[in-house]
Amino acid sequence: MNKDILVVIEHIRGEVADISYMMIAAARQLAETTEGEVLAVLMGSGVENLAGNLAADKVIYFEDPQLADFTSSTYQQTLEILISEVNPRAVILGHTSIGMEVASLLSAKSDLPLVSTCLSFSGENGLIKFTSQLYGGKILAEGLIPEPIALLTMVPGGYKPEDGQSSTPPLVTTAAPPQFTDLQISIKQYIEPETGDVDITLQPLLIAVGRGIQLEDNIEIAEELAEAIGGVVCASRPVVDQGWLPTSRLVGKSGYRVKPKVYLALGISGAPEHTEGIAGSETIIAINTDPAAPIFNIAKYGVVEDIFDLVPLLTEKIEES
Amino acid sequence: MNIVVLAKLVPDLVEELEIDDSGIALDMTWLRLIINELDDHAIEEAILLKERTGANVTVLAPDIEGVDDILFTAAAKGADRLIKIVGDYESGVNNLGLARVLTPVIKDLQPDLILAGVEAHEDLDGSIGPLLAGYLDLPFIGYVASIELEEGKATATKEYPGGLSAEMEVALPVVLGIQVADEPPRYVAVSKVRQAMKTAEIEELEAGDFDLSGGPTIDRMYQPEVGESATIIDGSLDDIADSLIGIFKELGVQ
Amino acid sequence: MPIRETFWNIPHWAEIAQYLVGLLTILIFSYGVIRRVRRWLQGRPQRRIDRIGSRLWSVVVQAVGQARTLQDIYPGIMHLTIFWGMIALLIGTILATVDWDVAHLLFNVQFLTSWVYVSYELILDIFGVFLLIGLGMAIYRRYIIRPDRLANMPGIGFKRDDAYVLIMLGLIGITGYLVEGLRIAVAQPDWAPWSPVGNAIGNAFIAFGDPSNRFLHYALWIIHILIAFVALASIPYTKFWHLIAGPVNIFFRSLEPAGKMSAPTSEEEPGVKEWRDFSWKQLLDFESCTRCGRCQDVCPAHASGFSLSPRDIMIKLDTFIWQPTNGRNMLGDTISADELWACTSCQACVDICPVFNDQLSSIIDMRRYLVLEGDIDPQLQDALANLGRYGNSFGKSERMRAKWTKPIQPKIKDARRDEVEYLWFVGDYASYHTSMTDKTLMMAKVFQSAGLDFGILYDGERNSGNDVRRVGEEGLFDMLAEKNLVTFSKSTFKTIVTSDPHSFNTLKNEYSENGNDHYSVLHYSQLFDQMITSGQLNVARKLGYKVTYHDPCYLGRYNGEYDAPRRVMSALGCELVEMPRNKENTFCCGAGGGRIWMEDPPEVAERPAEMRVKEAASLSGVSILVVACPKDLVMFQDAVKTADLEGKLVVKDLIELIVEATEMNLSETEEQN
């Protein structure tokens, strides 16, 4: 019976993504049920130091120049071999622009069952239950993770990154990846994010607008509040895709991950794409007309009101005081 | 140059979702099915590529209620060929099952480029794009925001978190998961769609029996408790505003 | 006995030469006319020959009587005097020709004799003076006052063309007088005083020189005749063309209600890309345009700094049709998409045009093409996509359409199930917009407490499509209308009532086209007017407010309803102070024609709504602007903020006044807020 839990560590440009620590935290919980070990897999070139604070029992580090940049093929081929050698109970990957595609490729190529968008897990009597976020977080689905080996992709929200960190460095084994075959993808260059605007990752107070803002003109009400209270306006994907705010203000999976003291979400439903970017916020306050909006699940304070009624009033009151 | 785009219909999240009596599926009575937003971007990207390179665009979609609409709309935008995969979707078909059925179909079409939305909000067993890439033994790049085509290769811009993106070169054929098209999906006038209904033809291909094995099984589906963790502030607008200001002060941001 | 001595002092060869030149003039003129007409006929077909009587009457009133031209006083009088001066002189010349070449030549009789002749001379002399006064006014206005609408033209050549007309008419008038004066000076007939101007000039000739200078008379006569013939021959080639195109255009004008827009002229290719895609009548519009610029003056988009001027649309299209294109496209190079999207479809340009051009129909036909091409503002694109998918522009579920009814007890009837007298067509803004729903609740409460038998369609209602149609998305309009009509046909009601003038317009004027007109349509102001008159609605308290009122384009200008809302306000005890621009001259809030779904370009200095609220705020003692349209409420409430008039001006929906005056208990409603 397989027991160990593999966690595929995500890192980009020398930094471990928060989701990796959350995955370790989840793996720790699973390993208790399966009575196995948490094995972190780190792939890259010259990034051994990234393993330092992972709360894993063991880190398997694949060092290879061809792993320096992420491509789905190299990751998939490395993991395919590793999985067949380790026979883990589960492999956890981020439901991200790295983990998601690797997991799906592996599922097809190695014929392994995959459960995506997992929010949390629970184990009883050796069985592991997944809770997965579907339909933009509006629905949760539960089921047992398939036997014997399951691939799991995880969204943030269920675990805290600090639970996946440890001050004692884990045991790191360096390994060589397999001989890669049929590599078709090569990196030409990285394109840096636009700069020159404010750096939203450094702001203590962010006021975020989402689809609920409806019209470009309405962003004004958020700008006015931001000006009154001294915050910065940021947005979820639909707003930026419309070109209403620059990419430098985009929060979420495809945007920035922010860590403000207070994140005030205006008319944001809380789809996983977005919440992935705000998991590091200290306090999330959400205002939304839809009481079932998933944003309320991660918010500390919630207000079920129309932003167009409440926000101008709030601005007015702040200006008065 | 042959481009195949996969499109599928998903529940419209504008509607309130409800769980049916079985407790493990959505109640479809009231649901509106719309094209997966990212698939719409994939179609747009394909049409943009067609406009730039003269490629031939085939749109492929499972035959779910409303599929004719999205196929004719694609034709009105400029798609050359429309194919729907007819089969029994009644009891639910997962991405694995769909990918297995699509694999031989796509092989027959001999595409140079296969595009799909990088994900759909109903995916529970992975995303259709990379699953297909796996079955077809083709490379995959996801979260693509821009594509350039050259002889025998493509350059795709993949988005990473934090506004970073990477330009990746890949030999054709390749499967690309589209995050966003170079331009927002265009508007198609209703009269153009109606015209496409008269002129365009939808080919039908039989799916046969779906092999759904390997996908997870759902035991329970539910709507998350409202604000499980959140303290809901209510009262008059005035009171709410005052409470919020209080919280801001307490947290030291005002 | 006074008698008209035609061709006095004119040698016989000159008389004959005159007829030869006349013949040449007719040839040149005819060629020009045929050339023009052939150009029109290249346009798409459009039926405009019904109701001949009304059409002729229209020509009498508007071309002969100059009714619309006169609405603008100075230019109106100016034009009237020139027009009638020239017409009288033309009639005089025709009479003289008939007198001499028909009566005298063939029957050896003349009718321009004795008192007939002296009255003839007197009348012509007076009308000649009118002509010169009119021309003087025109010169003063065009070259000294120089109003913007005349000073700036899109392209060169137009000013020369304008000046040409003034010079030619002036020369005809002046040389005519000189010839007459010289003849009088030499012949000195007894009846000379009957031509006061000619006589005065004759006396001047006698005083200053040789009265017997027959050569001078002869030379002047030739000049006079030549100028007159040149002017005649040039009619189809110069601005003079409006003399013919104008009345013809008035004859062929649309006699449909303003609110009923023409469907695309071609089903296969709706919309206009090339000039030949316009209908022949639209091509005639461009040719009839006199570049007077009245439309530009009343255009809210132009006033706000948008690139649109309806006058320029007409001028540019006319130029494009006649000049070599040099590879320039009509759409894009000559007419920009921005111009077309700036239009609010307020109808002001159409209603003011002295030659009855329909600038709006051309703008919308070109929009129709842009929509087909997908060349539209991203916000508008979203709105249209939402309208297609959800039946409302907000992108909300139709199941949420009647969410505002939740606090209402007893529940409002569902007209699809229960028979009702009034079907309340709520509309998108009143159903979904957050600053509107409390007004919508008020309306429901007022209806309920007045015991009105009414119902709504709940999730069965769709956007009426009025503005969708004006955006140019005809297919979507058809789709929305079809859906609403199916729902109507499943419901039992007598009258539709709506607070939205846009819905009111299309339901009233355009839905009937699709074969469903067994109901009548009322605007809520009309219904309240009836309810107050009949006593069904009891005004408990006279409000005593001093208010002003904004006429919504689609209620007023489009459908002529100006009085009902005014009667309601008066019955509620409000004193109405009119804004300078009221009733027919109302100034659009800027939301119509789909503009409410579009982004304003940066060059917009002051939005129409801001200008309008300032106009309202400038009235002394008025602090309430009453509106009777949900879009107006939204637009003006916003404009009051941006124009910094908060505290000075409050925008109120008519329903708010009704609630106050009837002292309705809205406590339940208020709790909800």
Residue numbers in A near C434 (CB within 8 A): 306, 308-309
Q: Of C374, C388, C473, which is closest to B186 when you measure between CB atoms?
A: C374
Alpha carbon distance A107, A101 (integer Å) = 10
Counting Cα atoms < 13 Å in the Cβ hemisphere of B24 gives 11
- How close, in Å, is residue A213 to chain B by CA atoms? 14
* A188, part of any domain: no
Strands B231-232 and B140-150, by their bridges, are unpaired
* Residues A211 and A153 both lie in one domain: no
Query: Into how many domains does chain A fold?
Result: 2
Reported as a single tens digit per residue, the pLDDT across C8-45 is 778 888 888 888 999 999 999 999 999 999 999 999 99
Provide the percentage of residues in chain C whose pLDDT is more than 90: 75
Which residue from B26, B141, B221 is facing A185, i.e. has the nearest CB?
B141
Q: Which residues of A are less than 8 Å from B168 in CB distance?
A: 71, 185-188
Long-range contacts of range C17-25, CB-CB < 8 Å, 24 or more positions apart? C18/C225, C21/C225, C21/C226, C21/C229, C22/C229, C24/C229, C24/C233, C25/C229, C25/C230, C25/C232, C25/C233
| Cα four-point dihedral sign B241, B243, B247, B249 | positive
* Over residues C174-187, mean pLDDT: 89
The pLDDT of residue C672 is above 50: no
Q: Alpha-carbon distance A39 to A170, whole Å?
A: 10
Burial A1-21 (b: 16+ CB within 10 A, else e): eebbbbbbbbbbeeebbbbbb
Q: CB–CB of B61/B87 below 8 Å?
A: no
**Nearest-by-Cβ selection for B130 from A105, A248, A309:** A105
Whether C667 has a pLDDT exceeding 60, the answer reads no
Question: Is C435–A308 a contact, with Cβ atoms under 8 angstroms apart?
Answer: yes
Q: Does C109 touch chain B (CB under 8 A)?
A: no
A151 and A71 both lie in a single domain = yes
CB A236 within 8 Å of CB A294: no
Asked if C395's CB is within 8 angstroms of B189's CB, the reply is: no
- Judge if A18 and A147 occupy the same domain: yes
pLDDT at residue C671, as a whole number:
40
- C632 and C525 Cβ atoms separated by less than 8 Å: no
Structure token digits, residue A184: 């078709």
Give pLDDT, residue A294: 82
**CATH code (residue A300):** 3.40.50.1220
Res A69: pLDDT: 93
Contact C399 B194 (CB under 8 A): no
Q: Is the pLDDT of residue C664 over 80?
A: no
Residues A50 and A132 both lie in one domain: yes
Contact A216 C379 (CB under 8 A): yes
Residue at A218 is within a domain: yes
**Any idea where the domains of chain B sit in the sequence?**
2-206, 224-254
One domain for residues A15 and A99: yes
Sheet holding A262-266, edge to edge: A232-235, A205-209, A262-266, A283-287, A301-303, B231-232
One-letter amino acid at C187 equals A
What are the tokens at C330?
Answer: 């009509």
Residues of B in contact with C473 (CB under 8 A): 189-190
Helix (H) or strand (E) run with residue C513 in it = none
Residues of C with CB under 8 A from a CB of A: 378-379, 382, 394-395, 434-435, 599
Predicted confidence band of residue C102 (pLDDT cuts 50, 70, 90): confident
- Structure tokens of B167? 């330009």
DSSP assigned state of C335: B
Beta bridge partners of B60: B6, B83
Per-residue confidence at C669, pLDDT binned at 50, 70, 90?
Answer: very low
Does one domain contain both A126 and A164?
yes
Q: Both A17 and A149 in a single domain? A: yes
Mutate to test the interface with B, among C368, C387, C399 (most CBs of B within 10 A): C399
With beta carbons under 8 A apart, name residues in chain B contacting C270: 191
Which portions of chain A are predicted below pLDDT 50? none
- Confidence bin at C212 (pLDDT 50/70/90): low
Site of tokens 């035609």? C6
Task: Please tell me the distance from the alpha carbon of residue A304 to that of residue A290, in angstroms, as a whole number.
Answer: 7
Instruction: State residue A196's pLDDT score.
Output: 64
Residues A116 and A214 in one domain: no
- A51 assigned to some structural domain: yes
Contact across the interface for C388 and B190, Cβ inside 8 Å? yes
Which chains have 3 or more CB–CB distances shorter than 8 Å to chain A? Answer: B, C
Q: How far is C459 from chain B (nearest CA, A)?
A: 12
State residue C515's pLDDT score.
54
C-alpha span between B189 and C275 (Å, rounded): 22
Fill in the DSSP letter of residue C496: E
Inter-chain residue contact A135 with B11, CB threshold 8 Å: yes
Confidence bin at C517 (pLDDT 50/70/90): low
Structure tokens, C119 = 């009255």
Domain assignment of residue A297, given as a range: 200-320
Residue in B14, B187, B190 nearest the CB of C381: B187
The confidence score (pLDDT) of residue C623 equals: 94
Average pLDDT over residues C256-266: 90
How far is Cα B85 from Cα B98, in angstroms, rounded to an integer? 9
Chain B within 8 Å of C478 (Cβ-Cβ)? yes
Summarize the confidence of residues C488-502 as an average pLDDT: 95
B/C interface, count of CB pairs below 8 Å:
45
DSSP H helical ranges for C572-629: 608-617
Q: Is residue A182 situated within a structural domain? A: no
Burial class (CB in 10 A: 0-12, 13-18, 19+), C410: exposed
d(CA C43, CA C251): 18
Give the per-residue pLDDT at C457: 97
C478 vs B30: CB contact, 8 Å cut-off? no
Contact yes or no for C371 and B189 at CB 8 A: yes
Share of chain B above pLDDT 90, in %: 78
Cβ count near C91 (within 10 Å): 14
> Which residue in the block uniquely carries the two structure tokens 């006396």?
C203
d(CA C294, CA C311): 8
Angle in degrees, 0-180, between the axes of helices C158-187 and C196-208, rounded to the nearest 10: 70
Q: How many CB pairs under 8 A join A and C?
A: 13
Q: Is A233 exposed, middle or buried (0-12, 13-18, 19+ CB in 10 A)?
A: buried
**Between B247 and C666, whose confidence is greater?**
B247
Q: Are residues A19 and A163 in the same domain?
A: yes
Residue B179 with chain A: CB contacts under 8 Å: 254
Contact B164 A113 (CB under 8 A): no
Q: Which residue has the higher pLDDT, C325 or C669?
A: C325
The pLDDT confidence band at residue C5, using thresholds 50, 70 and 90, is confident
Tell me the shortest Cα–Cα distance from A223 to chain C, in angstroms.
Answer: 15
Q: Tell me which chain B residues have a C-beta less than 8 angstroms from the C-beta of A300.
A: 229-231
Q: List CB contacts (< 8 A) between B35 and chain C.
A: none
For C547-598, the pLDDT digits (tens) are 999 999 999 999 999 999 999 999 999 999 999 999 999 999 999 999 999 9
Nearest residue on chain C to B188, alpha-carbon basis: C374
Answer whether residue B97 shows pLDDT above 80: yes
Comparison of pLDDT for B46 and A2, the residue scoring more: B46
Cβ of residue C403 closer than 8 Å to a chain B Cβ:
no
Peptide bond into C602 cis (omega under 30): no
**What CATH number is associated with residue A102?**
3.40.50.620
Residues of A in contact with B252 (CB under 8 A): 261
Cα separation, C306 vs C604, in Å, equals 6
Whole-number average pLDDT of chain B? 93
The single-letter DSSP state of residue B26 is B
For chain C, the average pLDDT equals 92
Question: HSE-up of C627 (CA within 13 Å, CB side)?
Answer: 28
Q: Is the peptide bond prior to C2 cis by the omega test (within 30 degrees of 0)?
A: no
In the CATH hierarchy, which fold is given to the domain comprising B2-206? Rossmann fold (3.40.50)
Indicate the SS3 state at residue C270. Answer: coil
Which residues of chain A does B250 touch, with a Cβ-Cβ cutoff of 8 Å?
none
